[in-house]
Structure 1
């Protein structure tokens, strides 16, 4: 196990990087870009007010053809200050800290792997490190689609299944907001002059639940807000929904129903917008072939890896749903994603570093 890889992960972890905190993300981006440059990558950015997406390119050596695309992210769910109660620690095989598993260890492993293949033949390697993955990558979708269109395979550096197995498909994941505008009025003196936005929202949520009830769809009403005073008919209200799909047909039916919502009350208006959308990625032959290639390479290293579907969503939803050969879960094994028990395996980092180096040089070389 390279002490330099652990030291890099330590530096990345101490640089807290919550989604949407542009200043904190910029500080980590500078560290990552410096390390990527030392590993041989050319670095560029797609700028956004909430955090820049990092684009790295490792030029091909001795291998022609389309690049391999790797997808990762450097934002975490943890706010600045989490380290005070959830400090970095490395004891035996267990490394703890905010973001070590999801997914800063994957970045550390990748950059070590890139250094290790220096001087060996490999195709061009493209890497996108997204700044807002933890909220559905609302600003990264176009970038991911554009890069994937020219890639021969897509490898996701999200955490694997428990034990280290890879991810061959993912549920579709959509965050939607239902917004209701009503008419304010005095709740006692003239209630009929108003249209209560909260009551309208409740009726709309019941409609959505009815659409979902007969389908294998997960629906979570995560946020509800509106109104202001009990003696005022509420003029505005909204709800944020989290939806998970296993079938593209159900996905389209539910999203179409959301688009078609119309008010129950004559004076109210209803609008729905998607906050983020990751399409359902189902298993296919292109992904199965890629998994077989990875298995063969892993066996040659003395590693055993398998793959199966995952419930969580990531940027690989986008590439897999488009039919590009995609496999995710190539970050090191560990556990506790988004929990204060988050940890990553030091041995797992070594294993994944070795596997990534072998994939970059062996997936598409003669």
Structure 2
């Protein structure tokens, strides 16, 4: 018979929950809140038009001090209908489906761990389950900062490194949009009276890519849109960029170059704005100490863990940059995040459930950090 955790992952996976789809997110939120309530959490929401952020709290029992804050999300990169071509499947230890690895299995492990410490002494536990993490958490930043300010430690429930190692730092991540306004005209009869916004955008992208290439940053042009008809000089165009930084100085310099873009064409206008921003989280002594304590607790369970920085970004960028002791990657091991090959390990779910139970329990992180 499948375990309750396995059954929960199936329920969460078949409730597809792409970022920005408020109706689909609401359906999964109701299921998650019901399960969180059964695990002992008090639940609340911070409402947003594109999806509510979920706030769960477990009052302290027998352990004084600041809370442990856990960060997760319930949005995925997969649109509704993905299950038709990427169905839930199980083959041995491998479980597949949209969002199983990033990061619905992490939510399963957390709720199973909370249920296991019911009736035991434990610190206060606070959880934020973000609705728009996959686009940079543009509406959740203030919430994450406020909760982090009073937390003893922050644990991220994002996927780990391949093999299961934890994450102790992250590149800064910014989503930016370059917008161009041109002048529409008939493309054959009077092209010289127009200013093509798409051509201007292409020139701006070529220029900005050359600027970015001079620094150790990652730049991805994610989307381009504009124009309307082949017989009309395009009047509008825009491109969304993904930027990743290891050094805040490179970030500041490149964003300055982005703000300084000027049009090549006389009648075109160019502007740039930030869609979301996550600061660089650099490894620090507080995070290293937290990793050592997690490693020790894991060793007591027969698990071997290590940690290192990651290229990807998450809400732990925010807490780590604030100087809060932060470690991420506590979701179960697997692979294929944001890819059709996405999978999670059934054995990894059991491992992470056991580890989270130990971290939150009476002999876990808070007593050890006193």
**Gapped regions of structure 2 (runs ≥ 5):** none
What does residue 288 of structure 2 align with?
288
1:172 is aligned to 2:172 = yes
Match runs of 1:177-196 below 5 Å: 177-196=177-196
Shift of 1:173: 1.5
Displacement, 1:196? Answer: 2.3
What aligned pairs does 1:274-353 form with structure 2 within 5 A after superposition? 274-353=274-353
Task: Tell me the alpha carbon deviations over residues 263-312 of structure 1, each in whole angstroms, 9 at most, x when there is no partner.
Answer: 23332211111122111111111111110111111111111100011111
Residues 62-118 of structure 1: CA deviation (Å, up to 9, x unaligned): 112211110001111222222222222233222222111111111011001001111
CA distance in 1, matches of 2:227, 2:347: 53
In structure 2, the residue matched to 1:150 is: 150
Work out the CA distance in 2 between the residues paired with 1:279 and 1:212.
18
- TM superposition score normalised by structure 1: 0.96
TM-score of the superposition, structure 2-length normalised? 0.95
* Paired residue secondary structure (1:204): helix
Taking the TM superposition and a 5 Å limit, the aligned residue runs for 1:76-115 are 76-115=76-115
Alignment of 1:1-366 (within 5 A): 3-361=3-361, 362-365=364-367
Change (3 A) 1:206 1:354: same
Which segment is superposed worse, 95-104 or 78-87? 78-87
SS at match of 2:250: helix
**For 1:154, what is the secondary structure of its paired residue?**
strand
Distance of aligned partners of 1:128 and 1:2 in 2 relative to their CA distance in 1, 3 Å threshold = farther
1:15-67 alpha-carbon deviations (Å, 9 max, x no partner): 11111111111111011001100111000001111111100000011112211
Deviation at 1:254, TM superposition (A): 0.7
In structure 1, how many angstroms separate the alpha carbons of the residues matched to 2:100 and 2:231?
Answer: 49
Matched-pair contact (CA < 8 Å) for 1:2–1:350: no
2:279 and 2:100 map into 1 onto residues whose CA distance is: 27
Q: Could you list the runs of 5+ residues in structure 1 that have no partner in the other structure?
A: none
Separation in structure 2 between the aligned mates of residue 2 and residue 86 of structure 1, nearest angstrom: 21
Distance 1:115 1:229 in 2: 58
Q: Secondary structure at the match of 1:365?
A: helix
Alpha-carbon RMSD across the aligned residues, in angstroms, is: 1.6
Mapped to 2, the partners of 1:96 and 1:185 lie a distance apart of 51
Assess, with a 3 A threshold, how the Cα gap between structure 1 residues 207 and 112 changes in structure 2: closer, same or farther.
same
Distance 1:279 1:194, change over 3 A: same
List per-residue Cα deviations over 1:138-172 (Å, max 9, x = no partner). 21111111111111111000111111000111111
Structure 1 residue 234 displacement after superposition: 2.1
